[in-house]
Amino acid sequence: MNEKELIQGLKDGKEKYLYILIDHYGKLFHGIIKSVLCSSHEESFIDQCYNDVILTIWFNIKKYDENKGPFKNWLISLIRFKSIDFKRSCNKMYRNEVLSPNLEDSCNILSEIIKTEEKAELIKAIESLDEIDREVFKLRFLEESTIDDISSKLKISKSTVYTRISRGKIKLKNIIEGVTL
C-alpha cells in the first residue's frame, strides 16, 4: 500500500487504515516517544502518550497538507510535540507529588474543617426558622425528600413547599450573613 492511499483512507475515516498506520509506523512512534519521555517517572506514561498520539493523528489527519512536506515528517513533528506536552504534564505532576504531598493533605483537612463549621452554622440557622419552614428544610435537604413527599407529609400544596423553600433560602442567607429582618 502506498502512502497516498494510506493518507486518503485515514482522511476518509476508515479504521482499517489506522491499523495499517500503526503496523507501518508504530515502532517509529514508540522510539520518538521513548526518546522524549526518558526519565524514570515518565516511563509509565509512554503507552498513554502512544494512545494519545494515535488519537491525535486520527482526529487531525485532515490538517496534513502534502504540499508542506512529507507525511513521515508531519508524523514525527506531531509525535514530538505531543510527547513534549506529556513530558511537561508528567513533570508538573511529579513536582506536585514530590514537593507538596503534605500541602494537599493540609488543604483537605482545612476544607473539611470549614465544611463542618459551615454545616454547623447552617443547621443553627435552620433551627432559627419558624416551625413549618424548619420542617420543610429538614425534609428537603437533610432527609432528601421529594417535593411531593413533603407536600403530602405536611399537608400543604407543592407550590407552598416551593415558596417556603425559596423564601427560606433568603431568610437563611440573611441569618448567615448577619442581616436582621
pLDDT tens for 65-80 read 889 999 999 999 998 9
Shared domain check, 80 and 132: no
- What percent of the chain has a predicted confidence (pLDDT) above 70? 85
Shared domain check, 51 and 136: no
Shared domain check, 161 and 112: yes
Burial of 46 (0-12, 13-18, 19+ CB in 10 A): middle
Shared domain check, 74 and 35: yes
Instruction: Give the three cell numbers for residue 129.
Output: 426558622
Give the residue numbers spanning the domain of 69: 3-99
pLDDT of 98 above 60 = no
Number of domains in the chain: 2
CATH code assigned at 13? 1.10.1740.10
pTM above 0.75, yes or no: no
Maximum CA extent, the chain: 80
pLDDT of 91 above 70 = yes
Instruction: Tell me which of 70, 99, 128 is where a domain ends.
Output: 99
Locate all alpha helices (DSSP H) within 12-130, ordered by sequence. 15-36, 46-60, 71-99, 101-127
CATH code assigned at 150? 1.10.10.10
- Between CA 131 and CA 164 the distance in angstroms is 11
Instruction: Tell me which of 35, 64, 99 is where a domain ends.
Output: 99
What is the per-residue pLDDT for 179?
Answer: 62
